[in-house]
Structure 1
Amino acid sequence: MISRYARPEAAAIWSSQTKYKIWFEIEAHAADAMAELGVIPKLAAETIWEKGRDAVWDSDRIDEIERVTKHDVIAFLTHVSEIVGPEARFLHQGMTSSDVLDTCFAVQLSRATDLLLEDVDLVLAALKRRALEHKMTVCVGRSHGIHAEPITFGLKLAGYYAEFQRAKERLAMAKFEIATCAISGAVGTFANVDPRVEQHVADKMGLAVEPVSTQVIPRDRHAAYFAALGVVASSVERLATEIRHLQRTEVLEAEEPFDPGQKGSSAMPHKRNPILTENLTGLARLVRSAVVPAMENVALWHERDISHSSVERGIGPDATIHLDFALRRLAGVIERFNIYPDNMAKNLDKLGGLVFSQRVMLALTHKDVSREDAYAAVQGNAMKVWRGEGRFLDFLKADPVVSKALTETELEELFDLGYHTKNVDVIFQRVFGEQG
């Protein structure tokens, strides 16, 4: 975790104190269930809660014990016994370390996903507001980075809104899949712990029971979870990259916010660099870097090994914290970024009307001109415009093939921006419903 890119709310989920609190709750809830089943004394379960519920776990002490035991869960349980007293011997009956670790990891990932879902809602709200604001702000659409045909800026943003709606669905499904509990013992057979204990812990921790856990929860769940985070991060990067392209000096159709007192360069006082969206691009790479290791964690040996452990201690906090930060930053950029309709209009006309070429070609085909001849006539005149020799409409009016098929009035009517925005309402209704 890089503290520079960590919000306190997200970082807190992965703190040692939070982890130990969850570990204790798992152990104590298991003790409650065992007490109800008559496996351990009810008074012992009550004492465990009474002395441990509000305990502040001493990370330094646990680390000290672990340096001897070389086992983190044993070190924790030893520290619990120092606080709870003799009744601590009734903890962890029939359980294995992975029962605690995997269930805790599920809780932490679930809580982190709740934050991510809140973040996506902020992104969606900002996108919706700006999309409606610029619903009919016409700009040039680009394919391969080259001017194609007119679009509206609001329609661009509506597309991102739909994408982040899908991101929200992916995150919700990822949480559903990752939120499972395993309290099944050494190889998942419940030989020394009743399955009802697992169900009780799952209910108390807000999880589902894992149908078949070996000694661990199967890692295909985690692979799918981190893959979902990677896809969401890629959506963040796609929008960030769009803003970066639109902020280039030669384009300047949109620009991320630049605050009073902000400096763009240590050497060049005039610079207004897209540092926020560049940062988002980098954070997306960090989040995606968790995907392949998570995939490689799936193939554990037999009923388990711990080759996944060191990986997950890194990617769990890093991927969720960085994505949380990225989504919050993206929401802020969308909410405040500058949009320049005048520059959009200038850029739209930069190629002298070439953005209407397809409509001219299609109009010719409706005047008994073959598609091949229509394409050749339109392209020939378009190339003159590319060479800077004049404007497209003027060349078309002077072209014998074109002028024979279309009158000047008919040609002029083809150069109508409204033609390209006539279905924007339909698309917005698809995306935003009646509010579109």
Structure 2
Amino acid sequence: MDPLETIIPIDGRYWSKLEELSAYFSEYALMRERIAVEIAYLKKFVEEVEREKISELPLNWKEALTIIPSEFTIDDAKRVKEIEAEVGHDVAAVVKYLREKLRDLGLEDLAPYVHIGLTSEDVTNLAYSRLLAKFNREALLPNLVKLLEQVAALSLEHVDTIMLGRTHGVPAIPTTFGRFLANYAYRLAKMADEIYGFRFPGKFGGAVGDHSALKFAYPDVDWIRFSREFVESLDLEYVPASTQILPHDKVSQYLMRVSLLDSILSNFCRDLWLMSALGLLVFTIKKGEIHSSTMPHKSNPILLENAEGAFDLASATGSYIARRLLSSRLHRDLSDSIIKRFYGLPLSLTILGMKNLSKALERMTVKKEEMLKEVESRPEVLAEAYQVYMRRMGIENAYEIIQDALREGWDEVLRTLKSALPEELYDEVISVKPSRYIGESEKVTLILLDEVEKIYKKITDYLAEVQS
């Protein structure tokens, strides 16, 4: 199929930016991971339950089994789909395919033990959790760390860049652009801290979670111990409380965390967009780019807008999936199956948003002079400082006095101050420029960035360890 014919833009319009995610969310990836789980189970089963069979197998039987998932190709996946068209069941098709491969490898004696005593969800839940874990450490975290690094670096660069704070969309008091960015860096770091070491769950318990078939056939085996060891060998967290399916509570927690991250990043995009609209930020246009089909002068913050839309859609669909997966009728119904096949929708949109936001930050120019000019042109931002200082001097209704004076104009504010304060204090108070009324802004920025650095280092150390 040509990318122009795809239904979902992820696989068409945005494919060039997201194609690496096929390794986690494509049907091919799910098949390959199911096969890897089936083979891992078959090895453990033979070694621990049917040990006497080992003497009848070739010496390289384990190595031969390992080749099946590691060399699984698109043509192999097409063969699985052919079988599925005959049997009407995706996991049963994988099982039949594996039996074919065992015969091809001269390991037909192992065919009876493929998928023995399992339900399809024993394999599928482990496959999905392993794919999500790989996505988290190989795609989400590296992109998040890059963004975090960018925002923190910009914050430090602009630690003393004066800007006008706005509440309710209108001028409030001065702050710094570095402080504004540090707030987002800190929020992103805290979310990254919750996501980076997330342990994905796994269950392994048969048709209703009680190991019934295996216990009946092999009553002397401790199947609870076996299951726990097997799940943990896949680097997953064993969940003993299961029906036919894994309760999706933990996966839902993960999706909700990513959805919260999406919402924070969407808000960041909107704030940068607003500052662009105010003429305080500029996003440079690449040579040859067209931002309007009719207005040649246009240079639009399109990367921010695209990222915002991606984050909003990711947050909405991700949080829906998280909530919906918590519900399953009695011991299982199939409604969760189709929903899980769409894990890639919100998570791919998250990556798309991150990439576009990162590119926007690379193109961003901060109009420091405009920011400072805006602050200095608004002396009324000192009204808060004046009324608090007057209250310190024991003037009870200082707020009302300054508020009334403001209605008459700034000169009236100064006259009011002069009549209320001793001359030496008046001179000291009015000597403060709006651009210096920033409180502990720089100090708070550095405190926040110090916390960000600690989390950043922890996560980058973790990524270096898991990727080595």
User: Offset of 1:167 from its aligned partner?
Assistant: 1.4
The more displaced of 84-93 and 265-274 is 84-93
For 1:105, the equivalent position in structure 2 comes to 128
Q: Does 2:142 align with 1:121?
A: no
340-349 vs 138-147, which moves further? 340-349
Counterparts in 2 of 1:196 and 1:28: CA distance versus 1, 3 Å: farther
- What is the distance in 1 between the residues matched to 2:453 and 2:117? 56
* 1:92 to 1:345, Cα distance in 2 relative to 1, 3 A: same
Partners of 1:97 and 1:138 in 2: how far apart? 60
How many Å separate the matches in 2 of 1:411 and 1:19? 68
Instruction: After TM superposition, give the deviation of residue 163 of structure 1 in Å.
Output: 0.5
1:263 aligns with 2:290: yes
Q: Report the CA distance between 1:432 and its aligned residue.
A: 1.5
Q: CA deviation at 1:171?
A: 1.4
CA distance in 1, matches of 2:408, 2:154: 38
Q: What is the correspondence of 1:21-420 to structure 2 with a 5 Å cutoff?
A: 21-39=32-50, 41-42=53-54, 43=57, 46=62, 48-49=65-66, 53-56=70-73, 58-85=76-103, 86=108, 87-114=110-137, 115-172=139-196, 175-176=198-199, 179-193=200-214, 194-248=223-277, 251-288=278-315, 289-314=317-342, 316-350=343-377, 352-370=378-396, 372=397, 374-385=398-409, 392=410, 394-399=411-416, 402-405=418-421, 407=423, 408-420=426-438
| Percent identity for Structure 1 against Structure 2 | 23
CA distance in 1, matches of 2:345, 2:452: 39
147 and 310 in structure 1: CA distance in 2 versus 1, 3 angstrom threshold: same
Q: Secondary structure at the match of 2:172?
A: strand
Asked if structure 1 preserves the Cα contact closer than 8 Å seen for 2:24 and 2:134, the reply is: yes
Deviations 1:224-275 (A, max 9, x none): 1211111000111011011100011xx1111334222222111111111111
* Cα distance in 2, alignment partners of residues 168 and 50 from structure 1: 36
What is the rounded CA distance, in whole Å, between the counterparts of 1:347 and 1:92 in structure 2?
A: 69
Query: 1:165 & 1:125 partners in 2: Cα distance?
Result: 10
Partner of 1:388: none
What is the CA-CA distance between 1:50 and the residue it aligns to? Answer: 5.0
RMSD: 2.4
- What is the rounded CA distance, in whole Å, between the counterparts of 1:78 and 1:15 in structure 2? 21
Compared with structure 1, are the counterparts of its residues 384 and 83 closer, same or farther at alpha carbon in structure 2 (3 Å cutoff)? Answer: farther
Shift of 1:423: 4.8
Task: Evaluate the alpha carbon distance shift between residue 414 and residue 37 of structure 1 in structure 2; reply closer, same or farther with a 3 A threshold.
Answer: same
2:39, 2:298 → 1: CA distance?
Answer: 58
Q: 1:16/1:331 Cα in 2 relative to 1: closer, same or farther (>3 Å)?
A: same
Shift of 1:51: 5.1
Long gaps (5+) in structure 1: 386-391
**Which whole-Å deviations, capped at 9, do the CAs of 1:324-354 have from their partners, x for residues lacking one?**
222232233223311000110122134x311
Question: For 1:66 and 1:226, how far apart are their aligned partners in 2?
Answer: 30
Q: Structure 2 length normalisation: TM-score?
A: 0.83
Q: Alignment length, in residue pairs?
A: 419
- 1:290 match: secondary structure: helix
2:413, 2:66 → 1: CA distance?
85
Q: Could you tell me how far apart the structure 2 residues matched to 1:68 and 1:252 are?
A: 63
CA distance in 2, matches of 1:277, 1:430: 24
1:257, 1:338 within 8 Å by CA — same for their partners in 2?
yes
Distance in structure 1 (CA, Å) of the matches to 2:281 and 2:81: 51
For residues 23 and 308 of structure 1, the distance between their equivalents in structure 2, rounded to whole angstroms, comes to: 17
Query: In 2, are the aligned partners of 1:151 and 1:420 still within 8 Å (CA)?
Result: yes
1:422, distance to aligned residue in structure 2 (A)? 4.3
